[in-house]
Amino acid sequence: MNKKKTAVVLLSGGLDSATCLFWAKKQGFNCHCLIFDYGQRHKKEIQQAAKIAKTAKCKYQIVKISFPWKGSSLLDKNIKVPMSSFKLSASSIQHASVIPSTYVPARNTIFLSFALSFAEAIKAQAIVIGANALDYSGYPDCRPGYFQAMQKMANLATKAGVEGKKIKILTPLLHKTKAQIIRLGNSLKVPYQLTWSCYRGGTSPCGTCDSCILRAKGFREAGQSDPAVTR
Amino acid sequence: MNKKKTAVVLLSGGLDSATCLFWAKKQGFNCHCLIFDYGQRHKKEIQQAAKIAKTAKCKYQIVKISFPWKGSSLLDKNIKVPMSSFKLSASSIQHASVIPSTYVPARNTIFLSFALSFAEAIKAQAIVIGANALDYSGYPDCRPGYFQAMQKMANLATKAGVEGKKIKILTPLLHKTKAQIIRLGNSLKVPYQLTWSCYRGGTSPCGTCDSCILRAKGFREAGQSDPAVTR
């Protein structure tokens, strides 16, 4: 009988979640990846997420959900993805005072709810999410307090919780800088050439959105070039 | 300019959520109903939910989601919906010690997450859910503590919460018996003939599942016959 612990890993195709997957494997988890097809602007990140799961030799499942409302530039092609408004200093990000238009209302909550349901169904002990509250876009559902509240809710929501078998929500990257994440990923042999971070679609990253700016900052500070950028 | 408050109402087609919709209208809310097509055993409740929303003259939206895993008799036709195991006394329900197979892992959490996203997108002030912790099937995600934890999480998850415009999760039926719900519904002219509670499909309610037993108990105690039962 397989006594290995099981984790549900939320995989987006980006750098952070790929690092999480390899981190969870290293922790000894048997990993099941969940990839969401939620009507995002481009399918590239879904394809890349599937490739990453395959490279990690992990099971994955693509969950199709519809947000039947708009309001985010990541969902609505009529809203432009903004140029990054970050003011970068040597080692920190200064956020603009407003939450950017790339914010998708309650996205992490929806993803974690599905992960919770899946984790309970397959009797997994943990959920792993690559959220980051340091080099991030300033979304409310990436902050430490949010994840603490989510954990409390999850304990009360499930049969597993009632039976004393709490499903842990793990956020191994929450307090790391992008450079620290990349260094961790290098030690875990994460295939960063397969990851896709750009908020826009296209054949190569735009280099100007929040996500590209954060990624470039990370590789620069980690002292290496980005293997996904061939330009 | 329309200054009416807006509420997102989770509508299942059952007696409780229909009562909630009419309650919310009475409170002065402009109601947007969310109906979930989540691969449940039968489509009857979805059709009935749409009819109820139309009767209430409210907007509604059917949200299609897939649970790509099984594990509940409400999702998996290979698992039988059990006969009710309730021990009914004159006024109370005694729950069996195990959570029944009709439990869908984290279902209310997923529904509320979508409602939260929708509420934020349309700038609604409230979410209304017809959960009940008295005459109910014993699901963990129907208990008062769960909703308190969900509210705390929701406040932290959203841009609305960050900006001090918290989206309230309202559970007007949480502490009511089925008979009290029906009496409230009568005063609000809820079209109970349109509601469908049975866990099984078919042309008429089975009369033996938890949901049918609870409903019958409610109408009996309210001293009236069930307008949806024509047998």
CATH number for the domain spanning B195: value is 3.40.50.620
> pLDDT under 70 in chain A at which residues?
1-2, 41, 68, 70-77, 79, 81-83, 85-98, 135-136, 230-231
The residue with greater pLDDT, B3 or B230, is B3
pLDDT over 70 at B77, yes or no: no
CA distance A152 to A145: 11
Question: CB-based burial of residue A163 (10 Å sphere; 0-12 exposed, 13-18 middle, 19+ buried)?
Answer: exposed
- Confidence grade of residue B125 (pLDDT, cut at 50, 70, 90): very high
Within-domain flag for B85 = yes
Q: Residue B231: what pLDDT?
A: 46
Model pLDDT for residues B23-50, shown as the tens digit of each residue: 999 999 999 999 999 877 678 889 999 9
Q: How far is A166 from chain B (nearest CA, A)?
A: 13
Q: Answer whether residue B24 is part of any domain.
A: yes
- pLDDT grade for B190, boundaries at 50, 70 and 90: very high
Q: What is residue B60's predicted lDDT score, i.e. its pLDDT?
A: 95
ipTM of the complex: 0.87
Question: What pLDDT, in 10s, does the model give residues A32-48?
Answer: 999 999 877 678 889 99
Supply the range of the domain harboring residue B99.
6-222
- What is the pLDDT confidence band of residue B112, given thresholds at 50, 70 and 90? very high
pLDDT at B94: 57
Is A88 inside any structural domain?
Answer: yes
Please indicate, yes or no, if residue B231 is contained in any of the structural domains. no
The DSSP output letter for B147 is H
- pLDDT at residue B87 is higher than 70: no
Q: Is the pLDDT at B97 greater than 90, yes or no?
A: no
Q: Whole-angstrom Cα distance, residue A59 to residue A31? A: 7
Which segments of B65-175 are extended strands (E)? 87-88, 93-94, 126-128, 168-170
CA distances from A195 to A158, A172, A176, B111 (A): 33, 18, 18, 31
Q: Is residue B228 part of a domain?
A: no
Which two structure tokens, joined as six digits, stand for A57?
Answer: 């030799």
Q: Give the mutation candidate from B103, B110, B111, B112 for the A interface (greatest A CB count, under 10 A).
A: B110
B191-201 per-position pLDDT tens digit? 999 998 888 87
Tell me what pLDDT residue A200 has: 80
In a domain, B230, yes or no: no
The total of structural domains in chain B comes to 1
For B49, B83, B201, B225, B226, the CA distances from B231, given in Å and listed in that order, are 22, 20, 16, 11, 10
Residue B77 dihedral angles phi and psi, to the nearest 5°: -70, -10
Q: Which of A109, A145, A162 sits opposite B113 (nearest CB)?
A: A109
Q: Would A120 be classed as within a structural domain?
A: yes
A10 neighbourhood in chain B, CB within 8 Å? none
Distance from CA of A55 to the nearest CA of B (A): 22
Average pLDDT for chain B: 86
C-beta of residue B29 within 8 angstroms of C-beta of residue B194: no
Q: What does the pLDDT read at residue B163?
A: 87
pLDDT for residue B68 is more than 80? no
Residues 11-70 of A with CB under 8 A from B: 61, 63-70
A75 lies in a domain? yes
